[in-house]
Amino acid sequence: MAKQEEPTGGKVRVSLDLSVPFFRRLQELEDITHESKAGIIRQALQLYEYVVQRTVDGYSFKTVDQNGKEESLVFFGPHVPPPKKPSTVEEEALA
């Protein structure tokens, strides 16, 4: 495998191979949000990163419908590591 170098400039170009149904979903989001496809993917990555970090930290997610009914959301299976316990230094910072 070739060694990959860290990007040094402001932007990096990425190519993606998408299935036709996935591309159509991306186009539909573009029509709804008036964002570019790149903007949608950037925002999706930010949301994914947030959900992963919160899940690792032990948070859970719920939806609440207009009648107040709550439903738990499960984004990941058992492959997400359990929440890490704070170190002594972190615990002291929380006190």
Each residue's pLDDT tens digit in the chain (95 positions)? 556 667 777 888 889 999 999 999 999 999 999 999 999 999 999 998 888 888 888 888 899 999 999 998 887 665 666 556 655 555 555 54
Is residue 70 in some structural domain?
yes
Continuous segment of H or E residues that includes residue 72 = strand 70-73
Number of folded domains that form the chain? 1
Predicted pLDDT of residue 36: 96
Is residue 63 in some structural domain?
yes
Distance CA 43, CA 65 (A): 24
Is residue 6 in some structural domain?
no
Is residue 13 in some structural domain?
no
Range of the domain at 43: 20-94
Predicted pLDDT of residue 60: 86
Q: Cα Rg for the chain, rounded, in angstroms?
A: 19
Query: Residue 30 contacts by C-beta under 8 Å, 6 or more apart in sequence?
Result: 36, 37, 40
Predicted pLDDT of residue 45: 92
CB atoms within 10 A of CB 43: 13
Is residue 76 in some structural domain?
yes
User: What is the pTM (predicted TM-score) of this model?
Assistant: 0.65
| Identity of the residue numbered 65 | D
